[in-house]
Chain A
């Protein structure tokens, strides 16, 4: 009885020590340390590690991407919520001629947002995320969500418009029957590149996909009118 109690006591002590040490270690490390993404193996290695089940590797990397996007958002939004709201307002109101012109936006007093968007750390984060999303879509090319959710995040959160459009184009090549890729490509072209015509064309393409919801057709029509070519009816069945 005494021996059992002693063992139980040691187990409890060990568990407490483990918890204390975990907290200590986590406090020492950077809470947004993204360097672990540098060590995500090559897709050929992942193919080997998953014994040929590439889709499972894609799923796990997609979950990692989501955690990465969320932790990035939480980390950078912390204390700059106001700036984020104003940044979103800027993005909504201003139209940018090209991805480069996005870098020349007059942020006014929102220096924090500009620093956030164009710092080295931010650029590295975007590079890691782009790499991760490309790996997911290489491993499972018909996995639709990473294309458009990834592109939205690359555009909105990271300001990487070119990479976002490239990812959507990759999705269009892989699964051309999906409407989402054209749809979000249209939105990104309109809001970030001020390319009304290109955006309207993409919207039309989204609208004529077999599984496109009815409101996409309405939005495509609105985009076409906005782009100055109201004769959209000939392209929408």
Chain B
């Protein structure tokens, strides 16, 4: 994780170097690239560390030692998620803090929109961490990576699916698309980076409801993970 943190810092410095040639739009470009880089690195950590988290324990039979104690399987999965997500979020907020300091260094004062954009993006990471752990509970890392990355990409385009359904109401794919649209994580709800860059006001509903959605979605994914893990043969 520290390597990734170092990589993020290097990318932010690169963003600054690139922004020098932006004809007076340095602040916008550093903010845009900085927010995107920090979120993507957070998601990458959540994905690639999350998909081996439970699988490693099962594969190396270290889980048996843990479960020999009075710990239920669901507690194991939820505990793994809570510990892991705390670590990932700590790295993410560390990178974000560095971004804010970096921006302040260039006389770009942090706005509330920037703070809310950083906060909402953290839910994107939390959901992806939950999804990665869910797949890790019953699939091998390669399958987990494939499924989690697919869900991340589809989740980013959830709004496009909605637009496609509305623009093509008579398509025979509509029922399938409606189901897909309902079950995928709507990661676009947490993307307020545009508002942060252009100082567009974010109201409380745009913060509160996505937060609630994030909590409920993570809960749902963890319930599925617990159910899948409950019947798994650990021997």
- CB contacts (< 8 Å) of A62 on chain B: these are 22, 25, 29
Given A63-B18, A67-B21: A55 and B194 within 8 A (CB)? yes
Residue contact A56 to B23, C-beta cutoff 8 Å: no
Interface residue ranges of A43-59 to B (CB < 8 Å): 47-48, 51-56, 59
- CB contacts (< 8 Å) of B21 on chain A: these are 63, 66-67
CB of B70 within 8 Å of the partner chain? no
CB of A162 within 8 Å of the partner chain? no
- CB contacts (< 8 Å) of B32 on chain A: these are 53, 55-56, 59
Taken together as a complex, chains A and B put the C-alpha atoms of A47 and B194 apart, in Å, by 14
Q: How many CB-defined contacts (below 8 Å) exist between A and B?
A: 49
**How many residues from A make CB contacts under 8 Å with B?**
18
Per-residue A-contact encoding for B176-188, CB less than 8 Å = 1, 0 else:
0000000000001
Residue contact A145 to B157, C-beta cutoff 8 Å: no
Taken together as a complex, chains A and B put the C-alpha atoms of A62 and B33 apart, in Å, by 13
Taken together as a complex, chains A and B put the C-alpha atoms of A55 and B23 apart, in Å, by 16
For the complex formed, measure the closest distance between the CB of A149 and the CB atoms of chain B, giving whole angstroms.
5
Residue contact B22 to A63, C-beta cutoff 8 Å: yes
Taken together as a complex, chains A and B put the C-alpha atoms of A66 and B26 apart, in Å, by 13
Taken together as a complex, chains A and B put the C-alpha atoms of A149 and B25 apart, in Å, by 11
For the complex formed, measure the closest distance between the CB of B152 and the CB atoms of chain A, giving whole angstroms.
8
Taken together as a complex, chains A and B put the C-alpha atoms of A53 and B33 apart, in Å, by 10
Residue contact A52 to B198, C-beta cutoff 8 Å: no
For the complex formed, measure the closest distance between the CB of A113 and the CB atoms of chain B, giving whole angstroms.
25
- Which A residue's beta carbon lies closest to that of B194? A55
Taken together as a complex, chains A and B put the C-alpha atoms of A98 and B156 apart, in Å, by 47
Taken together as a complex, chains A and B put the C-alpha atoms of A52 and B193 apart, in Å, by 11
For the complex formed, measure the closest distance between the CB of A141 and the CB atoms of chain B, giving whole angstroms.
10
- CB contacts (< 8 Å) of B197 on chain A: these are 55
Taken together as a complex, chains A and B put the C-alpha atoms of A63 and B25 apart, in Å, by 10
CB of B175 within 8 Å of the partner chain? no
Interface residue ranges of A138-163 to B (CB < 8 Å): 140, 142-143, 145, 149
- CB contacts (< 8 Å) of B188 on chain A: these are 52
Taken together as a complex, chains A and B put the C-alpha atoms of A67 and B194 apart, in Å, by 24
CB of B191 within 8 Å of the partner chain? yes
Per-residue A-contact encoding for B1-33, CB less than 8 Å = 1, 0 else:
000000000000000001001111100110011
22 residue pairs from A and B, CB less than 8 Å apart: A51-B153, A51-B157, A52-B160, A52-B191, A54-B194, A55-B193, A55-B194, A56-B32, A56-B33, A56-B36, A59-B25, A59-B29, A59-B32, A59-B33, A63-B21, A63-B22, A63-B29, A66-B22, A67-B21, A142-B198, A143-B28, A145-B24
Give 6 A-B pairs besides A55-B194, A66-B21, A143-B25 with Cβ atoms closer than 8 angstroms: A52-B157, A53-B36, A53-B193, A59-B22, A59-B32, A140-B194
Interface residues of A (CB under 8 A from B): 47-48, 51-56, 59, 62-63, 66-67, 140, 142-143, 145, 149
